[in-house]
Amino acid sequence: MPFRFIILLFAVFTLNGSHHSFSFSRNRTIEVSFQLNKVTEIHPSCQIAIWLENPDGKYVKTLFVSEYLSYGGFSKSEICPDWSGKANWNHTSRENIDAATGATPSTGDIHFKFHCSEETIPQGVYIYMIEVHLIENYNELYKGKIEIGKKKNESPASVIYLPEKFLKEGNILSQIKVKVH
């Protein structure tokens, strides 16, 4: 009887240990990188929001939002209006606000890493959105499709100008790369 008990304990610990390693493998990373370009025509605010939506356009989760935007700027309709209209930020918990908020990026190479467990962002196809406020009611919205799941993937971004293209020099962001690991 004791020998069977030892084998049973061994089996329980082995299965329990493999369960934990399987859970660990479900943690994924979304890497977002881009060049925030210096412009000479204006002094842009560069308030930025990065979030995920499902393919139907329903808001899923804010990954990053500039500090000014997160702590009150969201109430100004001209600053990142797509994000503020979908995120319902004034009803978000302080914990989620603090987790997603960061300093407004300076010009140059920008890199973000977001760790996403399956509990917070389930496996599936998502639309990533990066909205940048320029000046007044001018914003640029970059979007692309990513798949979060078992395989690595990368996605290019397309840009939408809100309300129209403001800068004659080019876009405020370039070299946008969004990778899922």
DSSP 106: P
- For 160, residues 6+ apart whose C-beta sits below 8 A from its C-beta are 140, 141, 142, 143
Kindly give the confidence (pLDDT) of every residue in the chain, 181 residues in length, as a single tens digit, with 9 standing for 90 and above: 444 433 333 333 333 333 322 233 456 899 999 999 999 889 999 999 999 999 999 999 999 999 999 999 999 999 999 999 999 998 998 888 999 999 999 999 999 999 888 888 999 999 999 999 999 999 999 999 999 987 899 999 999 999 999 988 889 999 999 999 8
pTM of the model: 0.84
Q: Are strands 101-102 and 59-66 parallel, antiparallel or unpaired?
A: parallel
